[in-house]
Chains A and B, each alone.
Chain A
Amino acid sequence: MLLVPCPHCGPRNQSDLRLVGATVPRPDPNATTPEEWGDYLYLRDNPADWIEETWYCRAGCRRYFTLTRHQGTNEFRNPPMPGDKVGTATYTTISVGSSGSQPGANIEPHTTGGAS
């Protein structure tokens, strides 16, 4: 069972949260096509790479938030929350080698575009 870094509640068991799913943009409801809408509803990429996903802390703060997770290693990065001071809260890598490989060894750092 994964340990999920809830930004408010701290590290929590996966069962305390609900994985809403990969964070995908919603097409314009007035201009979309059936193909595009079908992709939005049903089709997700499944890369062995970092993805953004939405979690809901149902047994704790009851907040929805976005985490990035590496689907190969289950390593999490915690991007800044809305309202956090941009440029200070850079991502943190929190999983401790859960599968024995080198987690994210060849992944580019994920910066938050700080002003400086």
Chain B
Amino acid sequence: MTERLQPQSGEVIDRSTPLPFVWNGKECTGYVGDTIASAIMANGHRIFARSMKYHRPRGLLTADFWDPNAFVQVDDDPNVRSGHRLLEVGVTVSPQNVWPSLDVDVKAANQLVGRFLSPGFYYKTFIHPQKLWPAYEKVLSTFAPGGEVDIETPLAYHDKRYTHPDVVVAGGGPAGMAAALAAAEAGASVLLVEHEHGLGGHLRWGSDEERAVAADLEAKVRAAGVEVLTDSTVTGRYEDNWVGIVQRSHPIAVERLIKARAKTLVVAAGLIERPYVFAGNDRPGVMLSGAVRRLINLYAVKPGERAVVFSANDSGDASVADLERAGVEIAAVVDGRTTGNVIATHGSQKAIKSVELSGGRTVEADLLVTAVGWTAPTSLLNMAGDRPVYDPAVARFFPSGTPDNVLVTGGLAGDGTLDQLIEHGSATGSLAAGRAVAIAHRLQAATVRAAAVEGAEPDLAADVRTPLGRDPHPELFRSTTHGIVDYSEDVGSKDLVSAAKEGYDSVELLKRYTTATMGPAQGKLETVNTVAVLAEARGETIAEVGTTIWRPPYAPITLGALAGRIFEPERVSSIHPWHVANGAKPILAGQWIRPEHYGDPAGEVTNVRTNVGIIDVTPLGKLVLDGPDVPKLLNLLYTNSWNKLDVGSVRYGLMCAEDGVVMDDGVTGRLSENRWLMTTTSSGAGSVWEWAENWLQTAHPDWEVFVTPVTTAYTSINVAGPKSRELMSRLTDIDLDPDAFGYMKVRTGEIAGVDDCIMWRIGFTGELSYELHVPAGYGLHVWEALLEAGADLGVAPFGLEAQRIMRIEKGHFIVGQDTDGLTKAPTTGLQPLIKLDKDDFVGKPELTWAMEQDLPVLVSVKMTDKTIVPPEASQIVRPGTNEILGRITSSRYSPTLGESIGLAQVPPELASAGSELTVVLTSGERTTAVVQEHHAHFDPEGARLRV
């Protein structure tokens, strides 16, 4: 049976384009412009869902975004608001929260035991015995409402946008449009955001004259260059008018999150119609006046056959006219402004048969329309610090005071004729534009060295708007009977009263205890009724009870939109293409993609120990330090001394924070009298730079030092192995004789024909090795030249894994791997590098005390069973107990030694050579490890790297 009416003058459907779709397994047809809900209604279906707790059949209540009864599954998309989402061709729409079907729902038995489902039922009933909770949970979760998530659904595209308009207008009704127009005409850049699919607000479903006014305003708004976003919602207002907007209408992105920094925000959110509380107020066929007006005027859908209208305002009166025009028989009009009242609906679970009115009268009808007043959605004002105040004469909340950069117009501000609303909106727009100019000037002028602004700051325009009036409205919240207050959470007025009696009589407590206002409608429909019922229970006024504070978001945002596009940069060195072409296994280290190995990490170790290997160490942080005061800076940042480092030498440095905790380490070399190159750990490249700048800029602005980050300006290559000198001698004229260029020295010059290279002799691998820093553009060239020149020497690349093995063989620790956020410098065993006789350095007092403390000790260990390599972070415990004493910080099998080795943090009493450690493996089994005399397992004298 179709309920589609003859064409209506304001309808937004396109009858020339029918859209077939499936609802609840039945073939249906709608039109372009239909919402899913209007299309389902047009096909003669009135039941959309079952309620959350009691599984009562539910029909449309508001027929818009906030409809609490119209959540459906659309193909693989759950929890779709069918009152808002537009119909698309061929979709399969299914009801949610029904089992086995919409018509027969076994869980509806819940309502027969409804007295057990009082507030707090689940907490009270299932809290004991606790061990049964998993079993309860399994059963209860099948009762949880909501659609079905299909984990096979492909990822959808989401996006973000940043924008800086002078004025953002939230709400595209007559006042909002007038504000946007006036602001644009005053020269402001304006973003107008409308929640619905079209501009116009309540005029969209109004009379021909009202729609003509809206169309005229919209044409002017668009001509004035206002950016208009429809089907988009301002979701939040944060500090300094940082405004979040969710755009559902983007042509490509499923949802786009817009972050706008507005100079002024105009809130013209309008009013939301409030349901009435009475017995049977959730029976399908009970609708708000706005719902029937939207169904008839926008979608040409007949909402019922015979109606009772309970009206206390213009919207109710207008719905009577609309219903009559749609051919709905008006059985009775009850005037809420006098003594008329609705007591109850009667009928089956699925439909109204009659409506019981005050005075004992009962009228047969299948539709009951209520128009009992408005909720002021003051969410954005709440977020701006406003605490709205209740006006009993008008039966709604009004703003009490907003900051200068937030202005209110439209229904939130008051009532008036259409002309008055437009006039107020227009004045608000002018004021917003004027204030935007003053605010922009003030913001810029406050930044003393940024671009200057001309002229004196304009005065912040005073608010001289003629305030809107307030039309009296009867306070109609609950009838003489009890009914549903929160439709989406299935909370009734009786529940609220009993919760108040239990002591939950503060509105914020009541809300959390009963979950009223906490469902998908988020208080848009039910907040005021909740407060009213509580006020009644407490015997107080609504003003005395107060209301809850609305928080962001105003409308839901998908997690996809919050995540947006992923902008996680990946960094690669100039040699990366060679690594890819030569089978390197990539590993992500921080933001860098690096070669973990080239197929055989153990073989790579052996080749370095016997021949020569080369590794790409470009991610190593590099800072050029220029100036006469560099030694002062180094003395301050590092624990060791830098007074006597000659030009041409390098030194290892240990860096601590003010709390004495190790934060970085690296080698710094003096290239010339006043030029130094500092290297940092790869992960510390950025933070050490900022750290150095912090000390220079805040504590020692008089020091003459320039810090220049050059991490990616150079490609860094370590050439390691007994044959590395032979290899380098084939590519450079720099004198490599050990007497001329010894261990811990630096030279600059030409390598493989490339000028301005830096080369220093250090030994992270424990072998004779040269670390090259070559201009990044020639990195790949030098790499290939090394491989070509050293082919007969057995040169081969090695990756991070081989380097890790070799550094454990040498007992070198890695900051952040073998140290943690509590590891103070003495733990590393580098006490000789902590120069307490220096006048000052970062962390000096803390390290002075730490030297006297019994801190954990970093030691090298050898596993007793060489076939077991305990995972890194394996715990070291006291034998026979679970008392944790320390942990294995690094571990590998050493191909050089044929042993399982590692580093560990242990208490001082276990730190001496030969101590046996009990190590717990992942399986729970225990193994033992023995503390070694030296940190280095291999070549403890360092003879190999000094040759």
List residues of chain A with CB under 8 Å of any chain B CB: 1-3, 5-11, 13, 18, 20, 26-27, 29-30, 32, 34, 37, 40-41, 54, 56, 58, 62-64, 74, 76, 78, 80-82, 84, 89, 92-101
Mask of B419-460 contacts with A, CB within 8 angstroms, 1/0:
000000000000000000001001111111111000000000
Give the number of residues in B that approach A within 8 Å (Cβ atoms). Answer: 41
Kindly state the separation between the CA atoms of A74 and B240 in the bound complex, as whole angstroms.
9
Contact B240 A78 (CB under 8 A): no
Q: Which residues of B contact A62 (CB under 8 A)?
A: 693
Most B C-beta atoms less than 10 A away, residue of A7, A18, A29, A89 = A29
Judging by beta carbons under 8 Å apart, are A20 and B694 in contact? Answer: yes
A74–B241 Cα distance when bound, in Å, is: 13
Given A81-B448, A97-B403, 9 extra CB contacts under 8 A: A1-B238, A2-B239, A3-B240, A3-B443, A13-B261, A20-B694, A74-B239, A80-B448, A98-B403
- Interface contact A96-B404, CB-CB below 8 Å: yes
Give bound CA distance, A80 to B446, whole Å.
10
CB of B846 within 8 A of CB of A37, answer yes
Closest chain A CB from B261 CB (angstroms): 7
Shortest CB–CB separation between residue A9 and chain B, in angstroms? 6
Given A1-B239, A2-B240, A20-B694, residue A10 in contact with residue B699 (CB < 8 A): no
Please pick, from A82, A84, A98, the residue contacting B239 in the complex, using a CB distance under 8 A.
A98
Residues of chain A with a CB closer than 8 A to B724's CB: none
Binds A, one of B477-485, B577-585, B837-845: B837-845
Q: Within the complex, what minimum Cβ distance (angstroms) separates B387 from chain A?
A: 8
Report the separation of the CA atoms of residues A63 and B447 in the bound assembly, to the nearest whole angstrom: 13
Q: When the two chains form their complex, are residues B448 and A7 in contact, meaning their CB atoms are under 8 A apart?
A: yes
Q: Is B748 in the interface zone, CB < 8 Å from A?
A: no
A78 touches B446 (CB 8 A): yes
Q: Does B385 contact A (CB under 8 A)?
A: yes
Residue B402 lies at the interface, judged by CB distance under 8 Å to chain A: yes
Complex-state Cα separation, A11 to B841, whole angstroms:
35
What is the distance, in angstroms, from A19's C-beta to the closest C-beta of chain B?
A: 13
Contacts of B845 in A (CB 8 A): 27, 29-30, 32, 34, 37
Q: Decide if B659 is an interface residue (CB 8 Å cutoff).
A: yes
Contact A64 B693 (CB under 8 A): yes
| Identity of the chain A residue whose Cβ is nearest the Cβ of B404 in the assembled complex | A97
A81 and B448 alpha carbons, distance in the complex (Å): 8
**In the complex the two chains form, is B443's CB within 8 Å of A11's CB?**
yes
Whether A10 touches B444, Cβ cut-off 8 Å, given contacts A3-B240, A37-B846, A98-B239, is yes
B914 CB-CB contact with A under 8 Å: no
Closest-by-CB residue of A relative to B701 is A82
B405 within 8 A of A: yes
Best-surrounded residue of A5, A58, A76, A98 (most CB of chain B within 10 A): A98
Residues from chain A with a CB closer than 8 A to the CB of B846 are 37
Q: List 13 A-B contacts (CB under 8 A).
A: A3-B443, A10-B443, A10-B444, A11-B444, A13-B261, A30-B839, A34-B845, A56-B694, A74-B239, A89-B448, A96-B404, A98-B385, A100-B402
Closest chain-A Cβ to B285's Cβ sits at a distance in Å of 43
Which residue of B is nearest A99, CB measured? B385
CB-based closest 3 A-B pairs: A100-B385, A97-B403, A94-B446
Q: CA separation between A62 and B840, bound complex, in Å?
A: 26
Cβ-defined contact, A100 with B384, below 8 A: yes
Chain B contacts for A95, CB-based, 8 A: 240
Cα distance A99–B240 in the bound complex, in angstroms = 9
Across the interface, name the chain A residue whose C-beta is closest to B438.
A96
Residue B386 interfacial (CB < 8 Å): yes
Q: Which residues of A contact B403 (CB under 8 A)?
A: 96-100
Residues of B within 8 Å of A10, CB to CB, are: 443-444, 447, 450-451
Whether B385 contacts A8 by the Cβ 8 Å rule is no
In B687-712, which residues have CB < 8 Å from any A CB? 690, 693-694, 697-699, 701
A79 to chain B, nearest CB (A): 9
| Residue of B whose beta carbon sits closest to that of A20 | B694
B668-694 near A? 1/0 per residue, CB < 8 Å: 000000000000000000000010011
B849 an interface residue at 8 Å Cβ cutoff?
Answer: yes
Q: A56-B690, A82-B701 are in contact. Are A5 and B386 (CB under 8 A)?
A: no
How many angstroms from the CA of A97 to the CA of B697 in the assembled complex? 32
Is B239 a contact partner of A94 (Cβ separation < 8 A)?
Answer: no
**Interface: B54 (CB within 8 A):** no
Tell me the minimal C-beta distance from B625 to chain A in angstroms.
Answer: 16
B245-280 to A contact mask, C-beta < 8 Å, 1/0: 000000000000000010000000000000000000
Residues of A within 8 A of B356 (CB): none
Nearest CB in chain A to that of B439: its residue: A96
Taken together as a complex, chains A and B put the C-alpha atoms of A1 and B385 apart, in Å, by 15
Name the residue of chain A whose CB is nearest to the CB of B400. A100
**Contacting pair A9 B450 (CB below 8 A):** yes
> What's the nearest-Cβ distance from chain B to residue A39, in Å?
12
Which chain B residues border A11 with CB–CB below 8 Å?
443-444, 446-447
- Asked whether A76 and B446 contact (CB < 8 A) given A37-B845, A41-B659, A100-B402, the answer is yes
Q: Is B105 an interface residue (CB 8 A)?
A: no
Residues on the B chain within 8 Å of A84, using CB: 448
Q: Which residue of chain A lies nearest to B840 when distances are taken between CB atoms in the complex?
A: A29
Give bound CA distance, A38 to B18, whole Å.
74
Complex alpha-carbon distance, A57 and B448, angstroms: 15
Q: How far is the CA of A13 from the CA of B841 in the complex (A)?
A: 34
Q: Complex formed: what's the CA distance from A95 to B403 in Å?
A: 10
Nearest CB of B to A111, in Å = 16
Asked if B849 and A34 make an inter-chain contact with CB atoms under 8 angstroms apart, the answer reads yes
Asked whether any CB of chain A lies closer than 8 Å to the CB of B242, the reply is yes
Asked if A9 contacts B844 (CB within 8 A), the reply is no
CB neighbours (8 Å) of B699 from chain A are 26
In the complex, which residues of chain A have a beta carbon less than 8 angstroms from the beta carbon of B242? Answer: 1, 3, 13
Say whether B10 faces chain A, with CB atoms less than 8 Å apart: no
State whether the Cβ of B198 lies closer than 8 Å to any Cβ in chain A. Answer: no
